[in-house]
Amino acid sequence: MKILVVGSGGREHALAWRLAQDPEKHALFCAPGNAGTAAVATNVPLKADDIAGLVAWAKTERPDLVVVGPEAPLVLGLVDALEKEGVVCFGPVAAGARMEGSKRFAKEVMDAAGVPTGKAETFTDAARAKAALPAFGLPVVIKADGLAAGKGVVVAETREQAEAAIDDMLVANKFGAAGAEVLIEEFLHGEECSILALVDGENAVLLPSSQDHKRVFDGDKGPNTGGMGAYSPAPVVTSDKLPLIRDKIILPVVRELKRRGITYRGVLYAGLMVNDANAVPHGPTATSGSDVNVVEFNARFGDPETEAVLPRLGGSFATALLHAATGCLRDEDVVVKDDCAATVILASGGYPGAYENNRIIEFSKSRMEDVESLVFHCGTKAEGGRIVTAGGRVLSVTGLGATLRAAVDNAYARIAGISFDGMFYRKDIAHRAFARG
């Protein structure tokens, strides 16, 4: 197959790499890609949000499939524009991407579909929002409705913090249009995990569970990031939960969207809070009465979850994506290997704040070949025969092994052979899984 992957991060490198492992040989392209994708695909110098440029490329090159990585082009309608030209796409149309682009819309869909989630109310007026706070107790969660680069969610421990967050969004317009509406949401107790489901408009097949590490420092300290590491499977998602997640969360959403005239094809990523006796930590039950609740939906593969989940898949990944994109997905399309995987992000000093680019990355050959591991590029570029840093998250190092412990050890062993000025990473990936004993 001729396949274009859209995007330039670790997720897209993992997508292109996994497609290159298929039993069939594909002609792979990545737009714009990075120094890592260049090793498995032909990079096309078009930005992920250059809708007109990507459509023009597809009209001439006629790929069999376009796989969209990031949310921005989905929300901007890349899939709508490509489908108009008869190009098959893995990724939802803009109306479907609103599941990620508008938290209010996602809540409406969940409520209509009876999906367990925190109770929430939407406000455009700060005084009314503040007056509603007491009914939610503490802590309470304040969310900007729209896309705010992962910064639009405040978990407030006190009423003052909650009021300040409401003022930031509704009065000071800190997030512009994305914060013109806010949701006040019930705080959900428990342990978070990610479920990525392949969806074909009607049916869904779950990929293996994973958990990411959003805070920048060990022990889940410091500001939120795009994700500092991930591992799969996540033991908090016991096997009894998977049918429930599919039948009570993913499928009802897909069918409610269909009812609204939106055929959702691509990944539906459910960020879930699990609060049963197995969860670390474990707390009071949510209003919904369910021990699994939706925290958020994303309309795409997670990053770095993808770098941990995809190496665990066997079979033909292109076939699975094509079947989802054309409405004929089957359970057999997803083949899961027994291996565990752990991904550690190597970041630029200062991230998620300001950081420097163009640091030369040193890869020591001797340490690279003997450990069961993969290195995905997130923010890199080739320059003068060297690979240099070009982003806050620079590399995703995935270790594989028969146990999670072996996978984590392999990831860190591989990291010992990589360095760049200012490089830092979390040393405690998968700590919740290990805390469970």
Binding site for ligand GLY (CB under 6 A): 212, 227, 298, 302-303, 305
Q: Which does 212 bind (CB under 5 to 8 A by kind): ligand AMP, ligand GLY, none?
A: ligand GLY
The set of residues, in sequence order, having a beta carbon less than 8 Å from that of 110 and lying 6+ positions away, is 117, 253, 294
Window of 8-16, 66-74, 180-188, 259-267 that interacts with ligand AMP by CB under 6 A = 180-188
Q: Residue 360: count other Cβ atoms within 10 Å of its Cβ.
A: 13
Distance between CA atoms of residues 153 and 136, nearest Å: 16
Q: Which is nearer to ligand GLY, 9 or 63 (CB)?
A: 9
188 contributes a contact to ligand AMP by CB under 6 A: yes
Place of tokens 């003052």: 160
Q: Which does 36 bind (CB under 5 to 8 A by kind): ligand AMP, ligand GLY, none?
A: none
Find, among 383, 388, 375, the residue nearest to 422 by Cα: 388
Interface size with ligand AMP, residues (CB under 6 A): 13
Using CA atoms, how far residue 432 sits from 287, 319, 366, 437, in Å, is 25, 34, 32, 9
**Which residues, numbered 230-289, are part of the site for ligand AMP (CB under 6 A)?**
271
Write the burial class of residue 390 (CB in 10 Å: 0-12 exposed, 13-18 middle, 19+ buried): buried
Alpha helix (H) residue ranges in 230-297: 241-244, 251-259
Task: Take residue 228 and report the two structure tokens written for it.
Answer: 């500092």
Q: Residue 376: count other Cβ atoms within 10 Å of its Cβ.
A: 29
Window of 184-192, 228-236, 363-371, 425-433 that interacts with ligand AMP by CB under 6 A = 184-192
Q: Which is nearer to ligand GLY, 115 or 267 (CB)?
A: 267
185 contributes a contact to ligand AMP by CB under 6 A: yes
> Which run of H or of E encompasses 294?
strand 292-298
Q: Which is nearer to ligand GLY, 11 or 241 (CB)?
A: 11
CA atoms within 13 A on the CB side of 381: 10
Tally of residues, the chain: 437
Q: Which does 118 bind (CB under 5 to 8 A by kind): ligand GLY, ligand AMP, none?
A: ligand AMP
End-to-end, the C-alpha distance of the chain in Å comes to 44
Binding mask 120-149 for ligand AMP (x = CB under 6 A): ---------------------x--------
Binding test (CB under 6 A) with ligand AMP, winner from 191, 296, 305, 307: 296
Q: Are 190 and 282 contacting, i.e. CB atoms less than 8 angstroms apart?
A: yes
Q: How far is the CB of 423 from ligand GLY (least distance, A)?
A: 20
Binding test (CB under 6 A) with ligand AMP, winner from 153, 164, 242, 382: 153
Q: How far is the CB of 302 from ligand AMP (least distance, A)?
A: 11
Q: Which is nearer to ligand AMP, 286 or 325 (CB)?
A: 286
Q: How far is the CB of 16 from ligand GLY (least distance, A)?
A: 17
Q: Which is nearer to ligand AMP, 65 or 237 (CB)?
A: 237
Three-state secondary-structure class, residue 26: coil
Distance between CA atoms of residues 94 and 92, nearest Å: 6
Q: Which does 372 bind (CB under 5 to 8 A by kind): ligand AMP, ligand GLY, none?
A: none
Binding test (CB under 6 A) with ligand AMP, winner from 155, 164, 242, 382: 155
Place of tokens 């360095």: 419
Q: Using CB under 6 A as the criterion, which residues of the chain lie in contact with ligand AMP when the complex forms?
A: 118, 141, 153, 155, 185-188, 192, 214, 271, 295-296
